[in-house]
Amino acid sequence: MTRLVIGVDEAGRGPVIGPLVVCALCIPQSDYETLRQIGARDSKQLSPKRREDIASRIREEAESRDWGIGIAICEPSRIDSNSLHSDLNRLEVELFAEAIESASESTQEGIIMVDSCDTDESRFSRRIAARLGQDWSNWEIDSRHSMDSIDPVAGGASILAKVSRDDSISRIEQEVGFTIGSGYPSDGVTREAVRKLVLGDFPHTDLRWSWSTVSDLWKEEHSTPVPTRFEDESVVRQTMLDEW
């Protein structure tokens, strides 16, 4: 039996709007050429239309060839709740592990090609291995920066993650009725969108309330600290006195 390869990548780590999406794609090593022919590579090198076309082809091949696809969608409420007790690197370890577990069975064996989100690539590998546990000891983990441009399986995962996040952004824009831009705080269109989305009694649910862009604009508009949100969507309002 040919060795299995799992590629893992994320989309949406830095934006202030929308979910963080992690995808794991599992294929037999013998199917590498098929994935290359489809055009799988770093999603940032592709136009939105090309990404959608390749993502559709990957899903078709996955169905016919029994490839595994695992997607972990982390909504802003989970990101905000996590920020109260941990950091984004540790959250991404959890999300990468969840996607891997959805893409394959631990009883198989192979190599996991991870696009590292940590400045320390080896530490990211160790943390994922620790989270997966002994059941995944037959799997080797190779964690590198820009793995999506090195390995086509990680590239395929990056495309699926990016298309999934883009779908979420399109849904948000349809719901709010205006363009939200790239979602990154440095984008002027995004900042104006965030300003509109903090005008209500609470920040919009698709914003990451714990991001400084949101908290700063909220304070400008309401003169109070941004409310604290938990994963179950419960909210705690804050006043200036709470900061003392």
In whole angstroms, give the CA distance from residue 161 to residue 173: 19
In whole angstroms, give the CA distance from residue 129 to residue 43: 26
pLDDT for the residue numbered 244: 40
pLDDT for the residue numbered 243: 47
169-186 pLDDT per residue, tens: 999 999 999 999 999 999
What is the average pLDDT score of the chain?
A: 93
Angle at 17 between CA 188 and CA 233, to 5 degrees: 145
Q: For residues 216-220, give the mean pLDDT.
A: 96
CB 146 within 8 A of CB 154: no
**The sheet that has 68-74: what strands, in order across it?**
68-74, 20-28, 4-11, 110-115, 139-144
Compute φ and ψ for 141, nearest 5 degrees.
-115, 120
Contacts of 185 by beta carbon, 8 Å cutoff, 6+ apart: 14, 15, 16, 191, 211, 212, 213
Helix (H, G, I), strand (E, B) or coil at 19: coil
In whole angstroms, give the CA distance from residue 22 to residue 10: 4
pLDDT for the residue numbered 132: 97
Residue 189 pLDDT > 50, yes or no? Answer: yes
Say which residue, 239 or 52, is predicted with more confidence: 52
- Identify the CATH number of the domain defined by range 4-170: 3.30.420.10
Asked whether the whole model's pTM tops 0.75, one would answer yes
Closest to 70 in 3D by CA, of 98, 110, 112, 34: 98
pLDDT for the residue numbered 241: 45
Residue 237 pLDDT > 60, yes or no? Answer: yes
Give 238's pLDDT tier (boundaries 50, 70, 90). low
Residue 78 pLDDT > 60, yes or no? Answer: yes
The full set of domain ranges for the chain reads 4-170, 177-243
In whole angstroms, give the CA distance from residue 38 to residue 33: 9
Residue 234 pLDDT > 80, yes or no? Answer: no
pLDDT for the residue numbered 43: 83
18-35 pLDDT per residue, tens: 999 999 999 999 999 999
Cross-strand partners of 139: 110
Please tell me the least confidently modeled range out of 57-66, 70-79, 150-159, 232-241: 232-241
